[in-house]
Structure 1
Amino acid sequence: MKRFIASVLFVFITFSCFSQKLNSYKYVVIPYEFSFLKKHNKYRVNTLVRYLFKNEGFEVLYDSEDFPEELSSNRCLGLYADINSDSNIFTTKLAFVLRDCSNKIVLETPFGRSKVKAYEKAYSQALREAFETIKAENYTYQPKKKEVEIPPPPPPVQVVEEMPDSVEVKVTEEKKPIQKTVEQTKTTTTVTETKKVVLYAQPIENGYQLVDTSPKVIMILLKTGVPNVYLVKGQDATVYKENGQWILSKATANGNAKSTLEIKF
């Protein structure tokens, strides 16, 4: 009696474990052509297998068709079904094998048997008997929960103060300022007394032109905005009035050369 109860518990626990494993798979992929038949849907085997899995709630696909996007990106959402055949001339024996995306066996059923001579009926009877193992698990799709891995806390940071082996002392010598002798160039101003030539100022735009008695234009004076101070056009020189006299101040290599002018306005 104890052995019987133990056997029942073992079978129940085994089926429960398989059922929990199957519930995490959404799809079943079956071969378009089973190897033991070597032809698609021979004896209507493909149609029957597709019907059996679909009737249990699986989404069934052939391995030759385009997969849905979620299965294409995650092949582990599917179980990959195949059929083992151990038939002989007297008995048809077939079993289901379900593998995961790593080709590991998730579930392998016992062989279903049939002694019917007609192949289509024999295959149907043997497959339905083998499928009872899968049917008994009451499959319901339950997506796996994503496990979030919590990283361990980082180790505490130890602060180690390092003392220097030696202290380097830099001695900076005070440098005496270098005295530079700057030679100043004295600017000399030379005043030249010239023979007075009377120049006549004729108004022009922005100034005057000075002409002699010829009349010849001697120079052109440009207004500066300062009363009685003019620039000489085309020369580095100025004409200004000082102490009642008109002075021509001209820059030369040796300084400023000054001369007096007699101008009639």
Structure 2
Amino acid sequence: MKNIFIFLCVLISFYSALGQERKVENYKYIIVPNKLDFFNEIDQYQTSSLLQFLLQKNGFTVILDSEQYPLELRADLCKALTANIIKEASLFKTSIHLELKDCFNQVVYTSNEGTSRLKDYKKSYQAAMRNLHSTMGAVTYKPKITIERLIISKDADIDSIESKDTRTILSPQIIENGYQLLNADAKIIFDVLNTSLPNIFVVKDRNGILYKKGAYWLLEYFEGDKRIIEQFTIHFVEEDH
């Protein structure tokens, strides 16, 4: 019975952490205070600038609160999370953790504890911060994409394609060098891979490409000797590819 209870606790903790990560990944911006609450000086021991640097590694656009915000963030501060380092009471070590809060001051994410026993304050705080960040590998920014799919025609003239109502919405998952696109049943529809050209993807295992034409995206590929064109309206939330 005791083992079952422990297992359930671990399982609940796992899904709670997973849920946090899924919420965090929807935010492009993180605002870092230029002075942490428990310090007297701005960027004391370079902790704020170090936190900015570390979170940028996770794909976020990280801004110090003393810097000028991008236009879209100035228009809507709810597009950002606010970071803060919480210091734990401890006599013989530096112990801290990170909190990320939304614009309603609700905690969206809490990191694992980062610790250090170094005696030098600067080295100790920086080591503890790097230590907590090392546990945040899965906490990354993943831009949301909604894709409205409509097959237009086979062997069609691209210039004859017209705007039509939407049919199916796909969701992305970031993979190495591109995106994996899934339907509502979490079934993979196709993968696209990045290229060196803007707004052009290679469609994996389909002998085709996905590219932007005007306000739409076109998936063009061959089945045997037949050319197939599918039109998509693709919305990259926060930014375009």
1:11 and 1:91 map into 2 onto residues whose CA distance is 26
Work out whether residues 18 and 137 of structure 1, in 8 Å CA contact, stay in contact via their aligned partners in 2: no
Once the two structures are overlaid, the 10-residue window that deviates more, 9-18 or 135-144, is: 135-144
2:143 corresponds to: 142
Question: What pairs up with 1:75-154 in 2 under 5 angstroms?
Answer: 75-133=77-135, 135-143=136-144
1:35 corresponds to: 37
Give the superposed CA RMSD: 2.1
Which amino acid is 1:67 matched to? Answer: Y
1:45 and 1:83 map into 2 onto residues whose CA distance is 9
2:22 corresponds to: 20
Aligned residues: 144
Point out the structure with max Rg over C-alpha. 1
2:4 and 2:105 map into 1 onto residues whose CA distance is 38
2:77 and 2:141 map into 1 onto residues whose CA distance is 19
1:56 corresponds to: 58
TM-score normalised per structure 1: 0.50
Q: For each residue in 1:46-65, what CA deviation from the matched residue of structure 2 results, as whole angstroms up to 9, or x when unmatched?
A: 22101110001000101111
Runs of 5+ unmatched residues, structure 2: 147-241
SS in structure 2 of the partner of residue 60 of structure 1: strand
SS in structure 2 of the partner of residue 79 of structure 1: strand
2:141 and 2:85 map into 1 onto residues whose CA distance is 23
Q: For each residue in 1:75-127, what CA deviation from the matched residue of structure 2 results, as whole angstroms up to 9, or x when unmatched?
A: 11101001111244422111111110111111122432222111122112221
2:188 corresponds to: none
1:137 and 1:143 map into 2 onto residues whose CA distance is 16
Higher relative contact order (CA 8 A, sep 6+): 2
The alpha-carbon deviation at position 4 of structure 1 amounts to: 4.8
1:224 corresponds to: none
> Is the alpha carbon distance of 1:30 and 1:22 closer, same or farther for their aligned partners in structure 2, counting shifts above 3 Å?
same
> Is the alpha carbon distance of 1:93 and 1:138 closer, same or farther for their aligned partners in structure 2, counting shifts above 3 Å?
closer
1:7 and 1:144 map into 2 onto residues whose CA distance is 34
TM-score normalised per structure 2: 0.54
Which amino acid is 2:64 matched to? Answer: Y
2:73 corresponds to: 71
Runs of 5+ unmatched residues, structure 1: 146-265
1:213 corresponds to: none
